[in-house]
Structure 1
Amino acid sequence: MNENNNTRRSFLRHLGVFTAGISLGPAFLTACNNAGKTPGSDSAASGADSSQHAGLPKDLFFQISLAEWSFHQALFAKKMDHLDFAIRAKKEFDIHAVEYVNQFFKDKAKDKNYLGEMKKRCDDNGVKSVLIMCDGEGELGDKDVKARMKAVENHYKWVEAAQFLGCHSIRVNAAGQGTAEEVAKNAADGLGKLTDFAKDFNIGVIVENHGGYSSNGKWLSDVMKTVNRPGCGTLPDFGNFCINRTKPEAQTPEAWAKTTCLEEYDKYQGVQELMPFAKGVSAKTYDFDDAGNSVQVDYARMLKIVKEAGYTGHIGIEYEGSKLSEDEGIKKTRDLLRKVGAQLA
């Protein structure tokens, strides 16, 4: 199947921007999974009155969040301000939980005034900050020990920012150079060190299948077993299982979108392998048929895997298609999650 997947990951990697037990307190573990709320109510993610959302399915086993990358075109084009993300999620899409991308406030990780404004806008609008997706901070699986430790330390500021904003985790990458065995060993070391640091902030460190070795579900699940810390988990993405793809004609998002996947790991097997460690889930979409179903992913099959794993936390919408506008793609993904979630109740 020819999919325009891994656009963000591959494009950022080639620009030099992307990189591919100890117990935590109950606050983190609860926030990652059931969050102590009634499954199915988006408003529950923020503590808002669910009666405001009459007519929405109340029996979903998960909560819905919105990943900021869904707006990447508008944000890169400066047609949207990062500070407006949470407000738009709530007012335009009736989604009450958000997942940030660090690229869109890269120089603000230590700016408490800016972070305070982000937090205020969430608090004022009943929006929950779920996690921060972190790229461009070095490879946690770097073969060079000093470079690997520098990458670990580069993530410290995002751990602190995540705590300030009320997130439960930061999303990182298990990337590096070398054989699968070498990168696995080095990534486990880097992830373990970062997780130990984040533990004191009650913040989890979660890894997405994000291209290369990490898009092999067996490889990444084995890394999780090696790290062996409750605070380190996964963020299974329904669409990011391309292990190898063609080279783009240019280093632009449009050119990367036209590349073809040469080797793809079975997405359903991959999600099943990653779910035992999941602290988040990413609902990737590209195209939809006339009935509103995803063309690339069988959502009924995928959400059944998620449900059978006992997961009841947030599933984040991440629309990466090009045929629909970002707004329409977000709405169709939201509606698909609600429809299939209700069918599985």
Structure 2
Amino acid sequence: MNTNRRNFLKTTAAIAAGTMLVSPTFAGMAEKKSRYKISLAEWSFHKALFANEMTNLDFPRVTRELGIEGVEYVNQFFKDKAKDEKYLGELKKITKNEGVTNVLIMCDGEGMVGHPEETERKKTVENHKKWIDAAAFLGCHSIRVNAGSRGSYEEQQKLAADGLRMLCEYGDTKKINVIVENHGGLSSNGEWLSGVMKMVDHKCVGTLPDFGNFTIDRQTGEEFDRYKGVELLMPYAKGVSAKTNVFDVKGDEANMDYFRLMQIVDAAGYKGFVGIEYEGSEISEKEGIIATKKLLEKIFVTL
């Protein structure tokens, strides 16, 4: 173990221990049992992972030390291990020993699900199959994919729906869902993505509404209303991504109304994991994760 990784893990453990010394007010909140469970998106630790301060195998243990019970992997942090049964077996053993639930795998870099050329769409589907297999092995319920495409609004809907249906047909054989996050481009348009869901019309397809990803065009600054977007995507949700960036002095997310967002989630009757995805830079990754967890727990007791 390198020095950076050892120091990172020690610091994380120390911070985790500090969170156990909660105030009476916070302890009182825990008395009300919430129907929601909290998971952690691995991207929340992307800086530490890219710096080799922790590894994908460390992720479940660090997650549990922070008092979080589910993990959401990002494929690029074990990109060459999708078919490595020994590695996946070790990862599965770690999560079992830690009492952590494997929730999903976020898949990037495997091609455009809605590629205009049929051969490329089929290639993308083939590229994702190994991640569906890995998710099934680990006991996850879903893989998250991107609905990238090219063409007009309507053309991209049809192309993305075609690629997703092919993926769902394979996912169905493994009992794995194929879910789409609002992740830039037209996928961040709630009307467009909900329309794609209707077109696919398969029990294995779904959405992963991300509270923060509603920028359609970064160059022009075009955005879709986040509250309307979450409302449109929640009927198809098989996961929820609680994105945070900046916190105010009260511990609330400074740029979005988290109470309103979780009320939309709650009104939809959602009962699954709510995944923390901290992307800010004003505080450390560990502190941002803990701050998001406290914010969610504060809201859960009001729902």
Q: Pick closer, same or farther for the CA change 1:57–1:70 going to 2, 3 Å.
A: farther
Is the 1:172–1:205 contact (alpha carbons within 8 Å) kept by the matching residues of 2? yes
- Distance (whole Å) between structure 2 residues aligned to residue 58 and residue 105 of structure 1: 37
- C-alpha displacement at 1:296, in angstroms? 1.3
Is the 2:29–2:301 contact (alpha carbons within 8 Å) kept by the matching residues of 1? no
Does structure 1 residue 211 correspond to structure 2 residue 170? no
RCO higher in 1 or 2 (8 Å CA, sep ≥ 6)?
1
- The residue type equivalent to 1:242 in the other structure is T
- Residue in structure 2 matching 1:121, options 89, 94, 97: 94
Residue 305 (structure 1) aligns with? 264
- C-alpha displacement at 1:55, in angstroms? 6.7
For structure 1, the 5+ residue unaligned runs are 1-52, 247-260
- C-alpha displacement at 1:245, in angstroms? 1.1
Does structure 1 residue 74 correspond to structure 2 residue 48? yes
Residue 323 (structure 1) aligns with? 282
- The residue type equivalent to 1:86 in the other structure is P
- C-alpha displacement at 1:54, in angstroms? 9.1
For structure 2, the 5+ residue unaligned runs are 1-26
- The residue type equivalent to 2:56 in the other structure is H
Q: Pick closer, same or farther for the CA change 1:57–1:151 going to 2, 3 Å.
A: farther
- Residue in structure 2 matching 1:102, options 75, 79, 86: 75
- Distance (whole Å) between structure 1 residues aligned to residue 28 and residue 54 of structure 2: 30
- Distance (whole Å) between structure 2 residues aligned to residue 165 and residue 213 of structure 1: 31
Name the SS for the 2:104 alignment partner: strand
Does structure 1 residue 173 correspond to structure 2 residue 134? no
Does structure 1 residue 296 correspond to structure 2 residue 255? yes
Is the 1:167–1:203 contact (alpha carbons within 8 Å) kept by the matching residues of 2? yes
- Residue in structure 2 matching 1:233, options 184, 187, 206: 206
- The residue type equivalent to 1:293 in the other structure is D
- The residue type equivalent to 2:136 in the other structure is Q
Name the SS for the 1:160 alignment partner: helix
- C-alpha displacement at 1:59, in angstroms? 2.6
When the two structures are superposed, what TM-score results if normalisation uses the length of structure 1?
A: 0.79
Deviation digits for residues 206-249 of structure 1, max 9, x if unmatched? Answer: 00000000000000000000000111000000000000113xxx
- C-alpha displacement at 1:61, in angstroms? 3.0
Is the 1:132–1:169 contact (alpha carbons within 8 Å) kept by the matching residues of 2? yes
- Distance (whole Å) between structure 2 residues aligned to residue 54 and residue 110 of structure 1: 45
- Residue in structure 2 matching 1:274, options 233, 242, 262: 233
Is the 1:174–1:187 contact (alpha carbons within 8 Å) kept by the matching residues of 2? yes
- Residue in structure 2 matching 1:262, options 221, 225, 249: 221
Name the SS for the 2:271 alignment partner: coil
- C-alpha displacement at 1:58, in angstroms? 3.8
- Residue in structure 2 matching 1:284, options 239, 243, 248: 243
Q: Pick closer, same or farther for the CA change 1:309–1:126 going to 2, 3 Å.
A: same
Deviation digits for residues 248-301 of structure 1, max 9, x if unmatched? Answer: xxxxxxxxxxxxx71110000000000000000000000000010001110110
Residue 337 (structure 1) aligns with? 296
Deviation digits for residues 135-176 of structure 1, max 9, x if unmatched? Answer: 000000000000010001100000000000000000001101
Question: Percent identity at matched positions?
Answer: 57
Residue 9 (structure 2) aligns with? none
- The residue type equivalent to 1:83 in the other structure is L
Is the 1:216–1:270 contact (alpha carbons within 8 Å) kept by the matching residues of 2? yes
